[in-house]
Amino acid sequence: MLQIESRQFATTHNLFACIQCGKCTGGCPMAVKTTLNPRNLIYRLLVAGNGYDLEGREELWDCTTCATCSSRCPKLVNPMEAVIALRGAFVEKGRVHPNVKTALESTFRHGNPLSMPREERVRWASDLSIKPFGEGVEYLFFVGCTPSYDPRVQQVARSLVKLVQHANLDFGFLAEEESCCGSEIRRLGEAGLFEMIVEENQEMLKAMSVDKMFTTSPHCFNAFKNDYPQNGVQVEHYTQLLSRALENGWLKFSGRFEKTVTFHDPCYLGKHNGIYDEPRQVLTGIPGLKLVEMDRSREKSLCCEGGGGRMWLEGSNPGTRLARWRIQEALDTGAQVLATACPFCLLTLEEALKHQNAEDKLRVMDIAEIADQVL
Amino acid sequence: MAFTPRIGVYICHCGINISASVDIEAVTAFAASLPAVIIARDYTYMCSDPGQALIKEDIEQLKLNRVVVASCSPRMHEPTFRAAVASAGLNPYCFEMANIREQCSWVHPGSEATTQKAMDLIASAVAKAAHLQPLITRQVEVSPSALVIGGGIAGLQAALDIAEAGFQVTLVERAEQPGGHAAQLHTTFPYMQPARELLRPLMERVDAHPRIEVMLSAEVEEIKGFVGNFEASVRQSEEMRTVSAGSIVIATGFEVFDAHIKKEFGYGLYPQVITTLDFELLSAQNLQVNGHSPRKVVFIQCVGSRDQSLGNPYCSRVCCMVAARQAKWVRQRLPEAEVTIFYMDVRAFGKGFEEFYDQVRTCGVIYRRGNPSEILRQGEHLLVRAEDTLLGEVVEVEADLVVLALGMVPRQDSAALASLLKLSRSADGFFMEAHPKLRPVDTSVAGVFLAGCCQGPKDIADSISQARGAAAAAMIPLLRGQVQVEAATAYVEEELCAGCGQCAQVCTYGALRLHPVRNVMTVNQVLCQGCGACASACPSGAVTVSHFTFTQTMAQLEVLLNGSNHQRKQELLPTASLMAK
Ligand SMILES: Cc1cc2nc3c(=O)[nH]c(=O)nc-3n(C[C@H](O)[C@H](O)[C@H](O)COP(=O)(O)OP(=O)(O)OC[C@H]3O[C@@H](n4cnc5c(N)ncnc54)[C@H](O)[C@@H]3O)c2cc1C
Ligand code: SF4
Ligand code: SF4
Ligand code: SF4
Ligand code: SF4
């Protein structure tokens, strides 16, 4: 039994506004491969009277929080947030997958969900002479957990640092003091821990008098921009910063990148925040680069299945990973490089590429890495 | 001076509608060769301004005194060409039309035979034209008043508008009180205004209006006359009165569906099952059922509508919003109550309706998709059994109050009223408008207009709109002060009439009366519609309808049967048999 007060829940989450049109489920990338059906879930909650038993609703953990549903709902219902809140009921009872438990505990203890020691957070940057953020520094570079620890994504962070240095922008980072933004924690349903993280980070940003910041990950960007209470800090994703730097002539490319590239819109940049143009502006600003689009791009972009805590969860249908379909879609365009701008997308897509044995035809790269090559 | 016909024939291409299958050049040459034809011309669109100008110029310069246009149907353009010849000084009845489109080019393949048929039709029209007589179109005075039948919200509004424009109005209402169904409503969708607030000012204005006479507990028993001069016999209790009116607005409204018919819902059997109309009263009584507040309320939509088994295939257009409004009322008054609406579709098409539907859902009303199949008793409560089609499961929803959202049906007496006024009714039984899109407030009877739900289900806003439209249309003849009466009417040659009265029996317009002294038939020229039924009924051939006289018709027939060219008919025959296949 995992009983929730469905009437109250439906009211708080505006589920009564739902007209059961199915637009959410029709676009849900998981609904085509698992039993996740946001429309149906909402209906069951509505007609359940005052108690609904979540027992057995394991598909709630399939949601990637891609925001396809919430961005398309004609009645302003947010099925994604409802799913996140329902996960909370599992978390409250401690009924979560061991991986989730580990991620939550590690974030609580070490400030990252990856079970990595805090001291190692800066190892990737030891040779880069990045100054610590302090009074008067213009930008805070919020690196993020995966770029800090994951060897593959560290390369992205390094490239990004070179680009920003090249553009002569005044920035610093928090080094070991940086702690997880909490984005995935919130989406795993651990609202309490997330609240704690927000409080600590808010205090830190305030203490350091941060005015402007940029992030490697769209997930951190989204968390600071949309999940944190208004704090006056201007937060940008790095693609926004780079596109601006190009436009103003702060950043200039001297090399060429003679390749056909297609761009995978990360959900947390695109569907969550409507940022579709800036990453493309950076790509098309690279001499020699030819950008081609997949049919599913921008608002229609297919989720890579890495969000909403799914980096640590296989989901109920691990056999067919969305990232593999995505690789196929990229191959169909004839592109040589599949570019993205998100640590999770980079990892899931690269893994899928290996699985498809298509590494000779396609490479997965972060926009920062491509840009770094033509400095 | 003997009359010599000078006929002009005008052949229309109708773009390519006619010219694609009829050899226009040959037809024109043929027409020019016919007796008494002075000129024959063809043109792309005869009805266009330049086409009409051709005719007018010829009338003036060639001194034409009869005109034949070979084109489309008289229904389409006879008024156009009559007006054209009249503007050139010719009597409009000196015009004849040959239909070589609907009756020829559209229905036959392009062939010589088709061209021949066009020639035949033209020849016959020319033959008739030589015998056409000018007729006098007469104007009759209009009674500057209107009769409104039915005093619901539509009738009240129509009466008020006509009276405000300065005309006398008699409003005949069958019930003891005006207001109709609107008077039984508690609040109204989508703005939750009390119905009283909408109706009362209207009723007060009608009541106080110096030019409106409201006849309550009254009924129209007979209507005679025609646009401009109707005469209605109205019975008010034991008294009969004659009301004259230039035009009539019908606003007799609707009846709610009788829920007893749906046995599976147990209306009349289970006290907890009520209708949306009963609910209006319940709202006024603070929603108390047997002294208790209901805790589980279920609404069922489409009761009596969208149901072919009942002969009501149509949607009643208000019940979705009525159920929504009442459900919201329950949620507001009894926040503890669980309110479920069973629906098949939610139709929220009106202005502000979808927004209202949004409010109703978000105030906590649960919409379940499914058409409940039955209601069963379970102890003190009821069980509504349905397939929830969104779940694909049979569900039983407990209820201590079930509200059936009734549809609208035509009034049972609408057939009687229809025959009183010779109105048509559409397949659903409501009064039929003259055209579903272009003439939505007119009927097929000149001077009679429709307002409100008597024409079909609608809400108050639409009823008011239609009422104001009907009022404006009804005022046209009243404002003109005169109406033209048809000149092609019947006349009786008294020396031939035996006074047998057979013609009077077939006249549906009541235009024929036997002269009490002379014992011959007389025609009321205002009532006569020129239908010709009497002329064919008369055994002595005493009745003639102008413009369709014996001489004229025989001349046409002669040409068609004998023709000037015998071979043509032979050639047309195979085409005709081909068509029959
Ligand atoms: C339960 C229910 C709730 C509704 N709620 C709403 C709402 O919230 N909002 C909304 O906009 N609409 C609502 N409606 C619709 C609304 O009632 C109608 O749109 C409106 O009443 C139509 O007015 P009417 O004048 O055309 O017809 P009616 O109200 O039916 O009036 C017709 C009148 O003509 C009289 N009559 C009939 N025959 C004759 C005759 N032969 N001679 C003389 N008099 C005659 C009748 O006695 C009656 O007074 C509701 C309808 C129902 C059934
Ligand atoms: S957020 Fe994405 S995965 Fe989750 S329910 Fe919505 S559409 Fe499906
Ligand atoms: S898109 Fe919105 S309204 Fe449609 S079913 Fe999903 S939640 Fe309901
Ligand atoms: S208005 Fe709604 S309830 Fe009424 S018949 Fe139409 S669909 Fe059914
Ligand atoms: S022509 Fe028709 S309407 Fe006129 S008197 Fe004869 S039957 Fe009646």
**Using a CB-CB distance cutoff of 8 angstroms, which residues of chain A are in contact with residue B391?**
40, 43-44, 47
- pLDDT tens digit string along B444-499? 889 999 999 999 999 999 999 999 999 999 999 999 999 988 899 999 999 999 99
Q: Could you tell me the distance, in angstroms and rounded to a whole number, from the CA of residue B512 to the centre of ligand 5?
A: 7
Bridge partners of residue B289, in order along the sequence:
B292
Q: Is the minimum distance from the CB of A68 to ligand 2 under 6 angstroms?
A: yes
Q: What is the DSSP letter of A366?
A: E
**Domains identified in chain B, total number:** 4
Residue A224's identity, in one-letter code, is: F
Q: Kindly state whether A18 is in contact with chain B, defined as any CB-CB distance less than 8 angstroms.
A: yes
Reply yes or no on whether the pLDDT at B573 is more than 80. Answer: no
Task: Please state, in angstroms and rounded to a whole number, the distance separating the CA atoms of residues B469 and B526.
Answer: 27
Residue B311 resides in a domain: yes
Task: Please state, in angstroms and rounded to a whole number, the distance separating the CA atoms of residues A283 and A288.
Answer: 10
Judgement on whether residues B427 and B474 belong to the same structural domain of the protein:
yes
Residue B555 resides in a domain: yes
How far does B405 lie from chain A, in Å, by closest CA?
20
Q: What is the DSSP letter of B294?
A: -
Judgement on whether residues B87 and B159 belong to the same structural domain of the protein:
no
Last residue of a domain, one of B483, B500, B526: B483
The label of the residue with tokens 């520094």 reads: A137
Phi/psi for B302 (5° steps) reads 60, 30
What pLDDT, on a 0 to 100 scale, did the predictor assign at position B563? 64
What pLDDT, on a 0 to 100 scale, did the predictor assign at position B566? 44
Please, what is the average pLDDT of chain B? 93
Judgement on whether residues B11 and B68 belong to the same structural domain of the protein:
yes
Residue in B closest to A20 by C-alpha: B390
- In this prediction, residues B87-100 reach a mean pLDDT of 96
Can you give the CATH number for the domain in which B526 is found?
A: 3.30.70.20
The residue segments making up the domain with residue B503 are 486-545
Judgement on whether residues B465 and B510 belong to the same structural domain of the protein:
no
Pairing mode, strands A290-292 and A260-263: parallel
The residues lining ligand 3, judged by C-beta closer than 6 Å to any ligand atom, are A 18-24, 38-39, 42, 73-75, 77, 79
Task: Please state, in angstroms and rounded to a whole number, the distance separating the CA atoms of residues B464 and B475.
Answer: 16
Can you give the CATH number for the domain in which B312 is found?
A: 3.50.50.60
Can you give the CATH number for the domain in which B78 is found?
A: 3.40.50
Task: Please state, in angstroms and rounded to a whole number, the distance separating the CA atoms of residues A10 and B256.
Answer: 36
What pLDDT, on a 0 to 100 scale, did the predictor assign at position B565? 53
Q: Is the minimum distance from the CB of A66 to ligand 2 under 6 angstroms?
A: yes
* pLDDT values of chain A reduced to their tens digit, one per residue, 375 residues: 899 999 999 999 999 999 999 999 999 999 999 999 999 999 999 999 889 999 999 999 999 999 999 999 999 999 999 999 999 999 999 999 999 999 999 999 999 999 999 999 999 999 998 999 999 999 999 999 999 999 999 999 999 999 999 999 999 999 999 999 999 999 999 999 999 999 999 999 999 999 999 999 999 999 999 999 988 999 999 999 999 999 999 999 999 999 999 999 999 999 999 999 999 999 999 999 999 999 999 999 999 999 999 999 999 998 889 999 999 999 999 999 999 999 999 999 999 999 999 999 999 999 999 999 999
Please tell me chain B's helix, strand, coil percentages from 3-state DSSP, rounded to the nearest 5.
Answer: 35, 25, 35
B190 prior amide bond cis, ω within 30: yes
Residue A100's identity, in one-letter code, is: V
Pairing mode, strands B187-188 and B193-194: antiparallel
Judgement on whether residues B424 and B335 belong to the same structural domain of the protein:
no
Task: Please state, in angstroms and rounded to a whole number, the distance separating the CA atoms of residues B221 and B232.
Answer: 7
Last residue of a domain, one of B434, B463, B483: B483
What pLDDT, on a 0 to 100 scale, did the predictor assign at position B508? 80
Q: Could you tell me the distance, in angstroms and rounded to a whole number, from the CA of residue B507 to the centre of ligand 5?
A: 5
Last residue of a domain, one of B378, B408, B438: B408
Reply yes or no on whether the pLDDT at B378 is more than 60. Answer: yes
**Using a CB-CB distance cutoff of 8 angstroms, which residues of chain A are in contact with residue B395?**
47
Task: Please state, in angstroms and rounded to a whole number, the distance separating the CA atoms of residues A21 and B258.
Answer: 33
Given pLDDT bands bounded at 50, 70 and 90, which one contains residue B564?
low
- In this prediction, residues B176-199 reach a mean pLDDT of 97
Residue B2 resides in a domain: no
- pLDDT tens digit string along B203-258? 999 999 999 999 999 999 999 888 999 999 999 989 999 999 999 999 999 999 99
Judgement on whether residues B228 and B172 belong to the same structural domain of the protein:
yes
Judgement on whether residues B416 and B429 belong to the same structural domain of the protein:
yes
Q: Taking each helix axis from N to C terminus, what angle separates B550-561 and B112-129, rounded to the nearest 10 degrees?
A: 150
Judgement on whether residues B280 and B404 belong to the same structural domain of the protein:
yes
Residue B261 resides in a domain: no
Residue A134: strand, helix, or coil? coil
Quick check: A188 and A97 in contact, CB under 8 A? no
What pLDDT, on a 0 to 100 scale, did the predictor assign at position B224? 87
How far does B395 lie from chain A, in Å, by closest CA?
10
What pLDDT, on a 0 to 100 scale, did the predictor assign at position B1? 56
Residue A326: strand, helix, or coil? helix
Residue B1 resides in a domain: no
Where do the H-state alpha helices sit in chain A? Answer: 6-12, 23-27, 38-47, 68-72, 79-92, 98-110, 145-149, 151-166, 183-187, 191-207, 218-222, 238-247, 277-284, 322-332, 343-355, 367-373
Q: Is the minimum distance from the CB of B509 to ligand 5 under 6 angstroms?
A: yes
Instruction: Report the run of H or E that residue B53 belongs to, with start and end.
Output: helix B49-61
**Cβ neighbours of A343 (radius 10 Å):** 28
Give the dihedral sign, CA B387/B388/B393/B396: negative
Q: Could you tell me the distance, in angstroms and rounded to a whole number, from the CA of residue A341 to the centre of ligand 2?
A: 20
Residue B282 resides in a domain: yes
Judgement on whether residues B11 and B124 belong to the same structural domain of the protein:
yes
Given pLDDT bands bounded at 50, 70 and 90, which one contains residue B567?
very low
Reply yes or no on whether the pLDDT at B576 is more than 70. Answer: no
Nearest ligand, CA B280: 1
Residue A4's identity, in one-letter code, is: I
- From the DSSP assignment, how many helices (H) and strands (E) are in chain A? 16, 10
Task: Please state, in angstroms and rounded to a whole number, the distance separating the CA atoms of residues B31 and B12.
Answer: 13
Q: Could you tell me the distance, in angstroms and rounded to a whole number, from the CA of residue B385 to the centre of ligand 4?
A: 20
Q: Which comes out higher in pLDDT, residue B183 or B567? A: B183
Q: What is the DSSP letter of A125?
A: G
**Cβ neighbours of B549 (radius 10 Å):** 18
Given pLDDT bands bounded at 50, 70 and 90, which one contains residue B572?
very low
CB contact under 8 A, A19 and B346: yes
Residue A79 Cα: closest atom of ligand 3? 7
**What domains does chain A contain, in order, with CATH numbers?**
3-92 (1.10.1060.10), 98-244 (3.40.50), 253-373 (3.40.50)
Query: Among B480, B435, B425, which residue's Cα sits nearest to residue B456?
Result: B425
**Cβ neighbours of B310 (radius 10 Å):** 16
CB contact under 8 A, B368 and A47: yes
**Using a CB-CB distance cutoff of 8 angstroms, which residues of chain B are in contact with residue A16?**
361-366
Quick check: A26 and A73 in contact, CB under 8 A? no
Burial class, B79, CB count within 10 angstroms (exposed 0-12 / middle 13-18 / buried 19+):
exposed
Q: Could you tell me the distance, in angstroms and rounded to a whole number, from the CA of residue A47 to the centre of ligand 2?
A: 22
Residue B259 resides in a domain: no
What pLDDT, on a 0 to 100 scale, did the predictor assign at position B525? 85
Residue in A closest to B338 by C-alpha: A49
Residues with Cβ within 8 Å of B236's Cβ and at least 6 positions away in sequence, in order, are: B215, B216, B217, B218, B219
Judgement on whether residues B280 and B382 belong to the same structural domain of the protein:
yes
Pairing mode, strands B273-275 and B401-406: parallel
Residue B258 resides in a domain: no
Q: Kindly state whether A20 is in contact with chain B, defined as any CB-CB distance less than 8 angstroms.
A: yes
Judgement on whether residues B190 and B305 belong to the same structural domain of the protein:
no
Task: Please state, in angstroms and rounded to a whole number, the distance separating the CA atoms of residues A152 and A344.
Answer: 11
Could you say which of B363, B365, B390 has the minimum Cβ distance to residue A20?
A: B390
Judgement on whether residues B329 and B282 belong to the same structural domain of the protein:
yes
